[in-house]
């Protein structure tokens, strides 16, 4: 009975407490409301302002802009895949087609100064819009160095040279291949023996000579065997009655282009080559007041060498074979000697069929008799420009032993040394720092290329074209005895081809 009384008393105590809490809260909120209404609180001010805005909700402010501020692009709903343009194969008659070197078009131009053998491109409406087919039975070329000596007949199906030049060891036809014994008109016993003779005068072995020019190259055997000496030779010959001689060179894996010393300048910058040679190239060096020899001088580096083997050298022995008079040949050689002296060349050697001159390193050590100097200061403005009968001046020097245009390191050091044109600031926008950064960038890129294509740098690829070569960073990073790169500098790009040659690489200007 006592426990029930205690329980009832506890419940009543809690009820009274709850009642007091509720009454307290009611009083608090009542007083709070009175305070806000009295003006001391801000609640009514907010409420009044909101009510005013709601009252004017139908009035639109003239400053508001409800136009969309992005362009609407309608979604494309198509189930078809985008179609790529497909070029059809050309007719088989175009198998040996070379743009701007069509025989029918060439014959419409004058033969004077070999104009008809120069580039003559078709108008836009006559350009081919099809893919040139390979010769029937075309086979992947032999890998280098075997390709130097053998080419599949099916790849270059022209036998005329094998017949016409049989006794001179240019090329022989055997079974299903052409064989190249390495001979030439002036070196029928082989290019190696001929180069050994040149090397007795010219420092070919120590890396001083890296780039060479062969004017009138035939099938480019001299350039092919110079590769063994780590010299890159740019060979050229016209597309004439000697069918496919440049194509033979390319199939062999040797750098070559279709070109001629005619009426327009060669597509190379000034001071590009360490040496040049003419081995019975039949270029009339004394014609047009020596214009052709002046053009060779333009592209020859100070300190470089020029080799002449063939007429008129050794005329006393060959005048009957050449069917020319002694007086005529003697006068021609005398005129060449005079021109060489006016170009500041010094004769270093003449024995048998070979004569060698060296261009002096600057003009302080030679007394020129001519003041007929070229006026143009842009050494890259040569694309389709008329060849001038004038002497390209040496770059200025401060001392008699300074190399005009800058001294080059021996190869392979010159491949990554800062080129003189960069050091002197001759290339706008290119500094020593940007040049070195470009080298680093291309080394990374080529490393990545080789991860993707593991055959890069192997005998699978013999020649590669860089269509926008810049400073030659790609070719330098890829440098390998197994391949060579044709560095093309477009005529609309910055003129950097001189830098490419100073690195010991080869290239050409071109207008794509």
Handedness of CA 299, 303, 306, 307 (dihedral sign): negative
31 inside domain: no
CA dist 164 → 157, 180, 344, 404 (Å): 15, 14, 39, 44
Q: How many CA atoms lie within 13 A of 436 on its CB side?
A: 6
Q: What is the dihedral of CA 391, 394, 399, 401, to 10 degrees?
A: -90
d(CA 146, CA 253): 10
d(CA 115, CA 105): 12
Domain that holds residue 412: 408-512
Count of domains forming the chain? 1
CATH number at residue 412: 3.40.50
Q: Which residues contact 495 (CB under 8 A, 6 or more apart)?
A: 269, 378, 379, 380, 427, 489
33 inside domain: no
173 inside domain: no
Using a 10 angstrom Cβ sphere, with 0-12 exposed, 13-18 middle and 19 or more buried, the burial of residue 38 is exposed
Other Cβ atoms less than 10 A from the Cβ of 41: the count is 14
d(CA 79, CA 155): 44
**Phi (first) and psi of residue 161, to 5 degrees:** -65, -35
467 inside domain: yes
pTM score = 0.82
422 inside domain: yes
445 inside domain: yes
Helix axes 326-342, 291-299, angle to 10 degrees: 40
207 inside domain: no
474 close to 466: Cβ distance less than 8 angstroms: yes
DSSP 38: T
429 inside domain: yes
CA dist 410 → 203, 205, 475 (Å): 11, 10, 18
d(CA 3, CA 23): 31
**Phi (first) and psi of residue 168, to 5 degrees:** -100, 5
d(CA 388, CA 292): 9
Per-residue pLDDT of the chain (512 residues; tens, 9 = 90+): 444 444 444 444 555 666 666 676 666 666 655 444 444 444 444 334 434 444 444 444 444 443 444 444 555 555 566 678 888 999 999 998 888 998 889 999 999 999 999 999 999 999 999 999 999 999 999 999 999 999 999 999 988 877 776 667 788 899 999 999 888 878 877 899 999 999 999 999 999 999 999 998 888 999 999 999 999 999 999 887 666 789 999 999 999 999 999 999 999 999 999 999 999 998 999 999 999 999 999 999 999 999 999 999 999 999 999 999 999 999 999 999 999 999 999 999 999 999 999 999 999 988 776 778 998 777 778 999 999 999 999 999 999 999 999 999 999 999 999 999 999 999 999 999 999 999 999 999 999 999 999 999 888 899 999 999 999 999 999 999 999 999 999 999 999 999 999 999 999 999 97
């Amino acid at each position: 009975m006592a426990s029930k009384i205690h329980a009832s008393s506890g419940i009543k105590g809690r009820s009274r407490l709850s009642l007091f809490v509720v009454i307290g809260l009611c009083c608090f909120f009542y007083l709070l409301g009175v305070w806000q209404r009295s003006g001391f609180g801000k609640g009514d001010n907010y409420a009044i302002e909101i009510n005013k805005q709601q009252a004017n909700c139908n009035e639109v402010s003239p400053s508001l802009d409800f136009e969309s501020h992005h362009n609407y692009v309608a979604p494309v709903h198509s189930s078809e895949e985008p179609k790529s343009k497909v070029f059809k194969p050309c007719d088989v008659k175009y198998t040996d087609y070379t743009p701007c070197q069509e025989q029918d078009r060439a014959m419409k131009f004058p033969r004077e100064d070999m104009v008809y053998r120069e580039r003559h491109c078709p108008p836009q409406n006559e350009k081919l819009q099809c893919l040139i087919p390979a010769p029937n039975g075309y086979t992947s070329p032999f890998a280098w160095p075997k390709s130097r000596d053998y080419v599949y007949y099916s790849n270059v199906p022209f036998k005329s040279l094998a017949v016409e030049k049989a006794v001179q060891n240019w090329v022989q036809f055997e079974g299903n291949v052409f064989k190249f014994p390495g001979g030439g008109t002036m070196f029928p016993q082989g290019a190696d023996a001929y180069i050994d003779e040149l090397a007795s005068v010219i420092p070919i072995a120590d890396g001083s000579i890296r780039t060479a020019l062969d004017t009138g190259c035939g099938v480019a055997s001299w350039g092919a065997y110079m590769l063994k000496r780590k010299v890159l030779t740019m060979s050229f010959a016209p597309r004439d009655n000697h069918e496919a001689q440049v194509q033979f060179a390319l199939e062999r894996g040797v750098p070559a282009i279709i070109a001629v010393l005619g009426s327009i300048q060669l597509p190379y910058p000034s001071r590009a080559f360490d040496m040049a040679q003419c081995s019975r190239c039949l270029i009339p060096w004394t014609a047009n007041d020596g214009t052709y020899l002046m053009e060779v001088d333009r592209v020859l580096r100070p300190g470089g060498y020029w080799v002449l083997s063939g007429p008129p050298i050794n005329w006393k022995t060959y005048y009957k074979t050449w069917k020319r008079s002694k007086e005529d040949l003697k006068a021609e050689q005398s005129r060449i000697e005079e021109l060489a002296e006016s170009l500041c060349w010094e004769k270093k050697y003449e024995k048998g069929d070979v004569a060698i001159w060296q261009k002096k390193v600057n003009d302080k050590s030679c007394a020129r008799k001519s003041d007929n100097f070229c006026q143009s200061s842009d050494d890259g403005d040569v694309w389709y420009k008329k060849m001038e009968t004038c002497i390209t001046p040496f770059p200025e020097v401060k001392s008699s032993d300074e190399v005009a245009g800058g001294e080059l390191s021996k190869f392979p050091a010159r491949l990554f040394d800062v080129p003189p044109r960069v050091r002197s600031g001759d290339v706008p926008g290119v500094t020593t720092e940007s040049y070195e950064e470009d080298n680093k960038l291309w080394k990374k890129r080529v490393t990545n290329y080789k991860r993707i294509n593991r055959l890069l740098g192997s005998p699978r690829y013999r020649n590669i074209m860089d269509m926008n070569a810049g400073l030659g960073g790609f070719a330098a990073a890829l440098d390998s005895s197994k391949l060579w790169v044709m560095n093309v500098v477009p005529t609309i790009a910055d003129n950097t081809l001189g830098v490419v040659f100073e690195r010991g690489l080869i290239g050409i200007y071109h207008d794509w």
